[in-house]
């Protein structure tokens, strides 16, 4: 979306490029940003790239993914509910907790969707802590 430096890619340019991608039947834009120049002063913080996803979605009319320091279930939920993006993409938080989607669903009082092979361990099963029996 941007290189965060004068002379680098700008969000306006990313929008124009996204329009070309949409015309080529691309489905979704992952709205990340560059990290390639020592002059960068990136305002890093929670959801610092989400505004890019919102702008591309609104101005290009294409599905977007928000990425970058999205870590909590409520934060992710709000991004989707307020229409800032169509999906949230997590990297480091999923390294810290590979079961984040299941934990997030539980935190949001939703019923998580388990892979079939994992259903014996599902929280909504009353015997989840029991030894496996057929």
Ligand X SMILES: Cc1cc2nc3c(=O)[nH]c(=O)nc-3n(C[C@H](O)[C@H](O)[C@H](O)COP(=O)(O)O)c2cc1C
Closest residue to ligand X: CB criterion: 91
Nearer to ligand X, 91 or 122 (CB): 91
Instruction: Report 46-105 residues binding ligand X (CB under 6 A).
Output: 67-70, 90-93
Report d(CA 16, CA 12) in Å as an integer: 6
Q: How would DSSP label each residue in 86-121?
A: SEEE-SHHHHH-TTHHHHHHHHTT------GGGGGG
- State whether residue 47 is helix, strand or coil: coil
Total binding residues toward ligand X, as defined by CB under 6 A: 9
Nearer to ligand X, 92 or 125 (CB): 92
Q: What is the nearest approach in angstroms of ligand X to the Cβ of residue 44?
A: 9
Q: What is the nearest approach in angstroms of ligand X to the Cβ of residue 59?
A: 21
Nearer to ligand X, 91 or 110 (CB): 91
Among 10, 19, 32, 72, binds ligand X (CB under 6 A): 32
Nearer to ligand X, 37 or 119 (CB): 37
Report d(CA 49, CA 34) in Å as an integer: 11
Residue 28 bridge partners (DSSP): 63
Nearest alpha carbon to residue 132 among 114, 119, 120, 122: 120
| Contacts with ligand X, residue ranges (CB under 6 A) | 32, 67-70, 90-93
């Amino acid at each position: 979306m941007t290189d965060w430096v004068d002379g680098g890619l700008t969000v306006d340019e990313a929008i124009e490029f996204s329009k070309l991608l949409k015309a080529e039947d691309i489905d979704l834009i992952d709205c990340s940003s560059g990290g390639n120049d020592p002059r960068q002063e990136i305002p890093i913080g929670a959801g610092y790239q989400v505004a890019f996803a919102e702008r591309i979605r609104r101005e290009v009319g294409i599905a977007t993914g928000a990425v970058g320091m999205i870590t909590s279930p409520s934060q992710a939920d709000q991004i989707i509910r307020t229409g800032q993006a169509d999906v949230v993409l997590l990297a480091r938080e999923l390294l810290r907790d590979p079961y984040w989607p299941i934990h997030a669903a539980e935190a949001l009082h939703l019923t998580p969707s388990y892979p079939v092979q994992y259903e014996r361990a599902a929280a909504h099963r009353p015997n989840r802590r029991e030894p496996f029996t057929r």
